[in-house]
Amino acid sequence: MTPLLTGIRVVDITSIVLGPFAGQVLADLGADVIKVEPLEGELARSVYPVSPDGMGAMFANNNRNKKSLALDLKSAAGKEVLRKLIASANVLLHNMRVDAITRLGFGFEAVKAINPRIIYCSAIGFGQDGPYRDRPAYDDVIQAASGLAMLPAHVGGTPAYVPSVVADKVASLYAVYGVLAAVAAQARGQIEAVDVEVPMFESLVGFLLNEHLAAATFSAEPKGAGYHRLFSPDRKPYRTSDGWVAALPYTGDQWRRLLAEIGRADIAAEPWFQDAGERSRRVAELYRVLGAAVLERSTADWLETFARLDIPYSKVNDLDDLLADPHLNAVGFFEPGALAEAGIARTLRQPVVFRGAPRAPDRSAVAVGADTDGVLAGLGYSGAEIAALKASGAVGGAGEGDDE
C-alpha cells in the first residue's frame, strides 16, 4: 500500500470486478475503503477457484486493503447505518443500475441530501442519457456492444470474446480517474457534491476507438472506422523453427536493420519504402516478409537477434510463464508481503510505482463483515446497539476486524 489518499473515506457498494477493482486501487493508494456487502457476502467470494477457507481468488484479487461491513440494505436499520456511513464519507462508489439504487433510497440526490460534499461514482453499464440506460450489462455483453468481439472477424476469424474481463477493468480504471479528479477539484474548492457517471459501454468504446476511429475521424458519413495496420492478418506472433516470438519493427531505421539481417535490403531500397506514409499503408507486405524469415531460425536465436538490432521484441508467454518471469520477479510483482499470513502465495501489486512516497503493509481481503463492529463503533454505535443490530439481522459479521 502507498498511503497517498489517507483521510479519504470511500463507501464501496460494488460486486464482482467492475467497482471492486476500482475500490482496490483507491485502497492500495491509502483510502479508507469500506466495502458494504449483503450478510451472505458478495457473489465473487464463491467464484472458483477458492482458497482452503473458501475465499474466491477473484474476490481476493479485487478487495485487499478494504474493510468489510455486512448490511441488510432492505431493512430500515441497515439503511440507517448506511446513511450514517455516507455522512462520514468522501466518496460513494456503486455498480448497481441507477433505477435500482434510487429505489433503494441511495440515488445521487438522496445521498447528496445526506452529505452535501459527496463524490458519488456510478460504475454502470450504459450512460443514463441514452436509450440503453436501463439495460443490464456484464463484460461479455459490453465486449459485443463495443465492437471488441467483432475485431477477430477483421483478420479472418469469427467474432469472439477476449478471454479477460476487459470491459470491467477498463471501466474501473476510468472510475478511478473520475474519483481522483473529483477529489482534487474538491480540495481546490471547485466543486461540492458531484455525480460521476462511468458507463462500461462508453468507456470501452472510447478505449477501443482511440486508434480504430481512424478514417472516420475525418468522414461525415458513419464509416471508415478501423486502423488498417491492426487488421493485417500477418500482424501476429511469428512461428519460429521451435516456438513463437513477437517483434515490432516500427520506424524506418528499425525496418532497415531487420531487412538487412534477413537478406532483404532490396525492399529498403524501394522508392515506396522511403515514404513513411506509404510504408505504413503497405505494412502488411513487410509483416509477411518478416513472418517468412522468422520461421527459419529458433526462438532463442531470434530473441538474441532482435536484442542486438534494438528492435522491440518478446517471447510469447503463456499465463503460467509470467509467474516465473525474471523481470516480474525482480520487481516483486507477485510478492505477497504481509498477505502471506493470510495464505496468499501471490498477489498483484499496483504497476504504478511512487518512488519517494511512504509504504505501508497490505491487508488481505477479509471475511464478510469482519469489520462491522469497528466501523459501527466509529459511527458512534454503542456495544449494546451493535448487538441489537446483529440480533435484528440488519448487520452481520463476527467483529474480528480493526477498530476505527
Q: Over the stretch 182-221, which tens digit does the pLDDT of each residue have?
A: 999 999 999 999 999 999 999 999 999 999 999 999 999 9
Q: Are residues 87 and 187 in the same domain?
A: yes
Within a domain: 345: yes
Q: Are residues 64 and 175 in the same domain?
A: yes
Cα three-residue angle 173-179-184, rounded to 5 degrees: 125
15 near 43, Cβ under 8 Å?
A: yes
**For 346-374, what is each residue's pLDDT tens digit?**
999 999 999 999 999 999 999 999 999 99
Q: In whole angstroms, what separates CA 3 from the centre of its chain?
A: 20
Could you give the count of Cα atoms lying within 13 Å of 50 in the half-sphere of its Cβ?
11
Could you give the CA distance from residue 170 to residue 201 in angstroms, rounded to a whole number? 10
374 near 398, Cβ under 8 Å?
A: no
Within a domain: 224: no
Range of the domain at 69: 9-208+330-396
Could you give the CA distance from residue 396 to residue 41 in angstroms, rounded to a whole number? 10
- Check whether 400 has a pLDDT greater than 60: no
- For a pLDDT cut of 90, what percent of the chain falls above it? 97
- Check whether 404 has a pLDDT greater than 70: no
Q: Are residues 253 and 343 in the same domain?
A: no
In Å, how far are 117, 192, 239, 244, 313 from 299, measured between CA atoms?
58, 57, 8, 6, 11
Q: Side by side, which strands form the sheet with 32-37?
A: 194-199, 119-124, 91-94, 9-13, 32-37, 66-71, 395-396
Dig out the grid coordinates for 219 from the structure.
468522414
DSSP symbol at 119: E
- Model pLDDT, residue 350: 94
Q: What are phi and psi of 202, to 5 degrees?
A: -65, -35
Alpha-carbon dihedral angle through residues 301, 307, 310, 315, given to the nearest 10 degrees: 80
**For 226-246, what is each residue's pLDDT tens digit?**
999 999 999 999 999 999 999
Within a domain: 93: yes
Q: Which residues of 333-360 are buried (b: 16+ CB within 10 A; e: fewer)?
A: bbebeebeebebeebebeeeeeeeeeee
Stretch 12-39: mean pLDDT: 98
Q: What are phi and psi of 244, to 5 degrees?
A: -140, 150
Residue of 199, 204, 200 lying closest to 150 (CA atoms): 204
CATH label of the domain that carries residue 295? 3.30.1540
**For 309-338, what is each residue's pLDDT tens digit?**
999 999 999 999 999 999 999 999 999 999
282 near 348, Cβ under 8 Å?
A: no
Cα three-residue angle 138-236-233, rounded to 5 degrees: 90
Final residue belonging to a domain, choices 257, 288, 315: 315
* Helices 252-261 + 283-294 axis angle, to 10: 30
Q: Are residues 91 and 168 in the same domain?
A: yes
Whether residue 49 is preceded by a cis peptide bond, meaning omega within 30 degrees of 0, is: yes
CATH label of the domain that carries residue 135? 3.40.50.10540
- Model pLDDT, residue 397: 87
Within a domain: 232: no
- Model pLDDT, residue 401: 43
**For 240-269, what is each residue's pLDDT tens digit?**
999 999 999 999 999 999 999 999 999 999
**For 133-159, what is each residue's pLDDT tens digit?**
999 999 999 999 999 999 999 999 999
Q: Are residues 194 and 253 in the same domain?
A: no
Residue of 24, 4, 26 lying closest to 16 (CA atoms): 24
Q: Are residues 309 and 358 in the same domain?
A: no
Final residue belonging to a domain, choices 315, 347, 375: 315
pTM summary value: 0.94
Residue of 367, 248, 373 lying closest to 316 (CA atoms): 248
Q: What are phi and psi of 198, to 5 degrees?
A: -125, 90
32 near 8, Cβ under 8 Å?
A: yes
Q: Are residues 304 and 345 in the same domain?
A: no
Could you give the CA distance from residue 311 to residue 344 in angstroms, rounded to a whole number? 38
- Model pLDDT, residue 184: 98
- Model pLDDT, residue 403: 42
- Check whether 113 has a pLDDT greater than 70: yes
| Domains contained in the chain, number | 2
Within a domain: 389: yes
Strand partners, 93: 12, 121
Q: Are residues 72 and 198 in the same domain?
A: yes
Within a domain: 324: no
58 pLDDT band (50/70/90 cuts)? very high
Q: Are residues 66 and 180 in the same domain?
A: yes
Q: Are residues 202 and 72 in the same domain?
A: yes
Cα three-residue angle 333-339-340, rounded to 5 degrees: 95
Within a domain: 36: yes
- Model pLDDT, residue 37: 97
Q: Are residues 334 and 304 in the same domain?
A: no
Q: Are residues 262 and 359 in the same domain?
A: no
Could you give the count of Cα atoms lying within 13 Å of 74 in the half-sphere of its Cβ?
3
Within a domain: 255: yes
Stretch 26-54: mean pLDDT: 96
